């Protein structure tokens, strides 16, 4: 079973948009291999587009963070809230159907309260001047760990609702 067996890419994209509007975070749906498949790009800040426009930085920061947190989410079967290597908060909610890990719903792009952007690492990965990075980071939204975990649980409930709706549809096929 795959993520697209649960919902179409367009329906997953609608969920990403809904979660972005609600949380203000960059939101993505990932398959079990950690790839996004809806094509949606949205930003929670001015730092992320810079990171993602540099393939080495994207691979070193975003991809690695997702792979590590998705592995934890798959193993624990629970949402995970952690920071990526440049210090931005990331949420990963596992999507598990019939005991099988199919992928994840993720959100990122705010700083956890008390954290700072790792400007030196971002400079090394992107080549951007540290003063430009500081400028991009001036208005980074902050979120408490408690708020982040609340969002993670709400995202988990949304995923569970999708899975429950699909299960009830398969248990009650349309009468034709």
- Round to whole Å and give the CA distance between 144 and 176: 51
| The pLDDT value given to residue 96 | 95
155 three-class SS: helix
Backbone dihedral region for residue 105 (phi beyond 0: left; psi -120 to 50: alpha; all else: beta): beta
Token reading at 60:
């070193």
DSSP secondary structure letter of residue 60: I
Token reading at 109:
């792009």
| The pLDDT value given to residue 65 | 92
Task: Show the domains of the chain with their CATH numbers.
Answer: 3-168 (3.30.450)
108 three-class SS: strand
End-to-end alpha carbon distance in the chain: 26
CA distances from 115 to 81, 125, 144, 175 (A): 14, 19, 10, 55
CA angle 106, 107, 111 (to 5 degrees): 140
pLDDT tens by residue, the chain, 176 residues: 899 999 999 999 999 999 999 999 999 999 999 999 998 988 999 999 998 898 888 888 888 999 999 999 999 999 999 999 999 999 999 999 999 999 999 999 999 999 999 999 999 999 999 899 999 999 999 999 999 999 999 999 999 999 988 777 766 555 44
């Amino acid at each position: 079973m795959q993520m697209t067996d649960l919902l179409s890419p367009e329906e997953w994209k609608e969920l990403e948009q809904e979660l972005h509007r609600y949380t203000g975070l960059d939101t993505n749906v990932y398959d079990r291999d950690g790839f996004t498949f809806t094509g949606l790009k949205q930003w929670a800040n001015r730092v992320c587009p810079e990171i993602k426009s540099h393939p080495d930085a994207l691979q070193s920061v975003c991809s690695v963070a997702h792979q590590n947190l998705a592995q934890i989410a798959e193993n624990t079967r629970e949402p995970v809230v952690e920071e990526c290597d440049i210090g931005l908060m990331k949420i990963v909610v596992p999507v598990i159907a019939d005991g099988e890990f199919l992928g994840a719903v993720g959100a990122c792009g705010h700083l956890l309260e008390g954290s700072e952007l790792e400007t030196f690492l971002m400079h090394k990965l992107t080549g951007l001047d540290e003063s430009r990075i500081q400028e991009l980071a001036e208005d980074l939204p902050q979120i408490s760990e408690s708020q982040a975990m609340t969002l993670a649980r709400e995202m988990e409930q949304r995923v569970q609702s999708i899975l429950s709706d699909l299960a009830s549809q398969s248990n009650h096929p349309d009468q034709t």
